[in-house]
Chain A
Amino acid sequence: NAGVTQTPKFQVLKTGQSMTLQCAQDMNHNSMYWYRQDPGMGLRLIYYSASEGTTDKGEVPNGYNVSRLNKREFSLRLESAAPSQTSVYFCASSVQGYSNQPQHFGDGTRLSIL
């Protein structure tokens, strides 16, 4: 039972390059989330998808786009990477949006932008 799987685990980009972070969950969850974690900042929500076919901005959406490809998969795209986007990115899922449902996290993608 894999839970939430993120790929890649590590990535180094040059400023201006683009890339897509992949996330898939096998728990039949409706809601999925993308966070970034920076030292001393805790986790900040970038985008979320309450259900298949919907996406909404979180706290720090600028510079990112997302696609809810199907119920299992939720990808995060950096169109033109900037050094300020160096961070650890976590994908999470829950049975349904927020409320009383715990979130299940992947192990993160460590992204460095030079």
Chain B
Amino acid sequence: SQQGEEDPQALSIQEGENATMNCSYKTSINNLQWYRQNSGRGLVHLILIRSNEREKHSGRLRVTLDTSKKSSSLLITASRAADTASYFCATVNSGGYQKVTFGTGTKLQVIP
């Protein structure tokens, strides 16, 4: 079963624009992580935000977390062609047995 669902499924923007991807989930979480996957490659960890955090930054990445709405967003500012990839959110549930569940991803295309 999928815990995280990304929205939109696909996004196409011009280089230099900002890209925003959203992730919704269903159960209480310990933390939420974002990963990037370039075509034909494995996933690469981008950023982790804990359930008691509301916002986190890493370079051109900004992640927000709203636990009351069970949602997170990933903002990539000043996008580059090299940002073209699929982006996945992954949730780690809270309490008891912790497991990580990946969403189905947002496919981002940045047009030069």
Could you list which residues of chain A lie within 8 angstroms of chain B, going by C-beta atoms?
A: 4, 35, 40-45, 58-59, 90, 92, 97-100, 102-108
Report the bound CA distance from A4 to B42 in whole Å.
10
B43 interfacial contact with A, CB 8 Å: yes
Contact of B92 (CB < 8 Å), options: A35, A43, A98, A106: A98
User: Would you give 17 A-B contacts (Cβ < 8 Å), ordered by A?
Assistant: A4-B42, A40-B104, A42-B2, A42-B4, A42-B88, A42-B103, A42-B105, A43-B88, A90-B42, A90-B43, A92-B43, A98-B92, A98-B98, A99-B31, A100-B31, A100-B92, A103-B45
Name the residue on A nearest B50 (C-beta): A100
Given A98-B98, A102-B48, A103-B100, the answer on whether A43 and B31 have CB atoms closer than 8 Å is no
A99 near B40 with CB under 8 A, answer: no
CA distance A42 to B88 in the complex (A): 8
B30 touches A43 (CB 8 A): no
Contacts of B102 in A (CB 8 A): 35, 42-44
CB A15 to nearest CB in B, in angstroms, measures 26
Given the complex, which residues of B lie within 8 Å of A90, measured CB to CB?
A: 42-43
Query: Contact partner of B43 among A40, A43, A45, A97, CB < 8 A?
Result: A43
Is B78 an interface residue, CB under 8 A from the partner?
A: no
Contact: B30 with A99, CB < 8 Å? yes
